[in-house]
Chain A
Amino acid sequence: MARQELTVTVRLFSVARDIAGCDMKKLRVPEGSSADVILRELAKTYPRLDAWVSSIRLAVNEEYVSNEHTLCDGDDVAVIPPVSGG
C-alpha cells in the first residue's frame, strides 16, 4: 500500500522568507514525518537556508515544538529564525 502523505502550510519569516522568496508555501510530506523534515526539505530547495537550520526554531499551530514533533495533516508550521524584537 502506498504511504499516505500529509499537506502542511509553511510560514516563513525574516531571513528565511528572504532566502525562499515567499512567505508561505504548501508542502507534502510522508505521514508520520517529524517537524524537522520541513527544514530539511526547505534546505534542499533553498541551499542558502542550510546555514540557518541550526538556529531556526519551528512552531506548529502557533506553539514552539521540538524538531521531533510529529506533524499532522493541515498543520500550520512556522519557520522562526532567531528573533530580534525589543
Chain B
Amino acid sequence: MVQITHTEIDVQSVFGSVRSPEAGGIDVFIGTTRNHSGRRIVASLSYEAYEPMALKIMSRLEAEACVRWSLVKVALVHRLGEVPTGEASVVIAVSSAHRHESFEACRFLIDQLKKEVPIWKTEQFADGSVERSGSSHGVESGGVV
C-alpha cells in the first residue's frame, strides 16, 4: 500500500494495514519533523511533491522490496503540506515471517525514498528565513517562497 496524504498520518492504521497472521514481526519507521537544522530553530516545515510520479516510484520501491526480501505486507505513507514539528512526515511499515527481512526492507525503503521519490521539504526558520533543502547540494536561501 502506498499513499500520499495531506493530513496527519494515522500511524496505528498504517501498522494495522501490514498486520497479518502470517507475519512474525512488523518493523515500523516513523520519520518526524525536527525542530532544528544545525543550530537554527525550525518554526515550520512543509513538503511538496510531484504526486503522480512520487506515487509511481513509491509503488516501484514497494515492489522491489518484495522481490528482494520475503515480505508479507508493505505500507509507505508520506505526508505533504505543512507538518508541525514533532509530527510524522513519513511512515513505513513492513511485515514478514522473520524479523531480519522486515528490518532490512524497512531501511531499504526509507533510504531509497529519500533518494528517488520527487518530494521536497521547505523549512521556515524562527528568524523568518526560508530554505528549500537539497539532499546533495547546497540550499537556496532567502525569501524565496
| B interface: dominant SS | mixed
Does A59 lie within 8 Å of B53, measured CB to CB?
A: yes
Given known A11-B50, A52-B137, A81-B132, contact A86–B31 (CB-CB < 8 A)? yes
- B residues less than 8 Å from A52 (CB atoms): 134, 137, 140
Does B135 lie within 8 Å of A13, measured CB to CB?
A: no
- A residues less than 8 Å from B106 (CB atoms): none
From B52, B89, B134, B135, A62 is in contact (CB under 8 Å) with B52
Interface size, chain B (Cβ < 8 Å): 32
Does B56 lie within 8 Å of A14, measured CB to CB?
A: no
Does B119 lie within 8 Å of A85, measured CB to CB?
A: yes
Indicate if A4 sits at the interface (CB-CB under 8 A): no
Q: Mark B38-55, 1 if CB is under 8 A from A, else 0.
A: 000000000111101110
Indicate if B117 sits at the interface (CB-CB under 8 A): yes
CB of A66 to closest CB in B, whole Å? 15
CB of A69 to closest CB in B, whole Å? 15
Complex CA–CA separation, A79 to B28 (angstroms):
32
- Nearest A residue to B130 via CB reads A18
Indicate if B121 sits at the interface (CB-CB under 8 A): yes
Complex CA–CA separation, A18 to B143 (angstroms):
10
Measuring CB to CB, which residues of chain A are less than 8 angstroms from any residue of chain B?
11, 13-15, 18-19, 52, 55, 59, 62-64, 78, 80-86
Measuring CB to CB, which residues of chain B are less than 8 angstroms from any residue of chain A?
31, 47-50, 52-54, 56, 78, 89-90, 110, 113-122, 132-137, 140, 144-145
Ordered by A's residue number, 18 sampled pairs between the chains whose C-beta atoms are within 8 Å are: A15-B120, A15-B144, A19-B140, A52-B137, A52-B140, A62-B50, A80-B118, A81-B120, A82-B133, A83-B115, A83-B118, A83-B135, A84-B132, A84-B133, A85-B118, A86-B89, A86-B113, A86-B119
